[in-house]
């Protein structure tokens, strides 16, 4: 009995150490265990938002679901928010654990070497600067504090957090919520000053194919599978290549969306990830305004592109068995009218509304239809939006 208790203590201590390393991105164990603070009256049927997938039957195909996600997922801590002012606008303000408890099920992760060049970490990065905000909003405190600029911008989220720490945190959350599944969209972040070399690819490969990973990652290849197959597991959306791996490392999981075929700033991207299986993607993040545009018209332009793509996703006669991915987010604009992600998502805090506000009534009108994967910025700024996206089984 003493030996057994000692082993439990050691396991608990190891778990606490790993989660402490991951806390700058994951959040704390209190976040992991907590119910949705302020959301106690919300949920799907009688289920909490942390367990909403339990309402859907096992035979439900993942591609036929509406899955709320977060773009540039992990930049939530006050320290990270402060650091991002120098580079590019932050996109989220909650931890991964809190997002999961809020109903988010898809995460957009950008990785590269940590500074030690031995472990892999996560970044928020853009290759264009975020210049001082459009002069029309220059005296508004709610926006001033978010403005910053830098060329070849890069922001490391936590130099001490390893990819494995974040994955271990996700495994821990799934153990607490075995009816759920989590999709991870992962791509290499090139603006970090490090290289996507063979050693990085091999390190990532071994992380994804370890004995522990095989227990927690859906092992199907070229398919997202059904909810029953994926409960309690992670699903990989691979937006990177394994083109430098040794020939004997052949294990693959999830779906591969070839980054070389991903149209930059595309409004209607079409990628085949397996025979007969297509991903239809809207990733229009750099809004191209007309000569007389203003911030409100840029927001309206982005909203229209999002709705146009979602109209295709909900059409039962078009591609009901194919994957749809919509980025509701938008990046900083250098040119006037300058804009930052928070203003695109939520407006200026006064009279101008953001994309999230404009999208909510449309989603509500079509609630229960298949929207596919939707990547959001500042999803919590319009609190019923996630629940409306999920709909009813």
What is the per-residue pLDDT across 315-358, written as a single tens digit (0 to 9) for each? 999 999 999 999 998 877 666 666 788 888 988 888 899 999 99
Confidence label for 151 from pLDDT (cuts 50, 70 and 90): very low
Domain positions in the chain are 2-390
Cβ neighbours of residue 67 closer than 8 Å, sequence gap 6 or more: 105, 106, 183, 372, 373, 374, 389
How far apart are alpha carbons 292 and 299 in whole angstroms?
14
Mean pLDDT confidence for 221-228: 97
263 Cβ contact partners less than 8 Å away, ≥ 6 residues apart:
269, 283
pLDDT at 58 over 80: yes
When the pLDDT of each residue in the chain is averaged and rounded to a whole number, the result is 85
pLDDT band at 369 (very low <50, low <70, confident <90, very high): very high
The whole-number pLDDT of residue 152 equals 38
In sequence order, what are the beta bridge partners of 107? 70, 184
Domain formed by 2-390, architecture: Alpha-Beta Barrel (3.20)
As a whole number of angstroms, the distance between CA 379 and CA 356 comes to 7
Tell me the whole-structure pTM to 2 decimals. Answer: 0.88
Q: Please indicate whether residue 64 or residue 297 has the higher confidence score (pLDDT).
A: 64
* Predicted local distance difference test score (pLDDT) of residue 129: 40
């Amino acid at each position: 009995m003493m030996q057994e208790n000692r082993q439990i203590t050691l396991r608990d201590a190891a778990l606490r150490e790993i989660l402490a390393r991951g806390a700058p991105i994951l959040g704390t164990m209190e976040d992991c265990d907590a119910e949705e603070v302020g959301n106690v009256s919300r949920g799907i049927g009688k289920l909490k938002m942390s367990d909403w997938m339990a309402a859907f039957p096992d035979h439900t195909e993942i591609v036929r679901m509406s899955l709320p996600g977060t773009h540039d997922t992990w930049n939530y801590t006050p320290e990270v928010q402060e650091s991002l002012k120098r580079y590019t606008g932050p996109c989220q303000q909650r931890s991964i654990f809190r997002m999961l408890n809020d109903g988010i099920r898809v995460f957009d992760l950008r990785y590269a070497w940590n500074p030690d060049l031995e472990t892999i970490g996560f970044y928020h990065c853009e290759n264009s600067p975020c210049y001082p905000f459009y002069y029309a909003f220059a005296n508004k405190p709610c926006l001033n504090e978010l403005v910053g600029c830098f060329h070849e911008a890069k922001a490391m989220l936590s130099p001490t957090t390893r990819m494995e720490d974040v994955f271990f945190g996700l495994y821990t959350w799934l153990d607490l919520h075995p009816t759920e599944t989590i999709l991870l969209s992962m791509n290499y972040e090139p603006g970090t000053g490090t290289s996507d070399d063979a050693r990085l690819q091999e390190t990532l490969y071994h992380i994804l194919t370890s004995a522990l990973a095989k227990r927690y990652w859906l092992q199907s290849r070229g398919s997202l599978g059904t909810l029953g197959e994926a409960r309690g597991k992670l699903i990989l959306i691979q937006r990177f290549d394994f083109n430098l791996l040794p020939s004997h490392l052949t294990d693959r999981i999830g779906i591969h969306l070839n980054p070389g075929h991903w149209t930059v700033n595309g409004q209607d991207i079409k990628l085949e990830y397996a025979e007969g299986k297509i991903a239809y993607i809207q990733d229009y993040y750099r809004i191209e305004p007309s000569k007389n545009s203003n911030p409100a018209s840029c927001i309206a332009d982005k909203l229209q592109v999002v709705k146009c793509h979602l109209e295709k996703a909900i059409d039962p006669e078009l591609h009901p068995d194919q994957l749809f991915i919509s980025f509701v987010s938008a990046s900083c604009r250098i040119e006037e009218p300058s804009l930052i992600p928070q203003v695109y998502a939520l407006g200026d805090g006064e009279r101008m509304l953001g994309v999230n506000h404009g999208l909510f009534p449309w989603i509500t009108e079509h609630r229960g239809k298949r929207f596919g994967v939707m990547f959001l910025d500042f999803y919590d700024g319009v609190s019923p939006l996630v629940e409306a996206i999920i709909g009813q089984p």
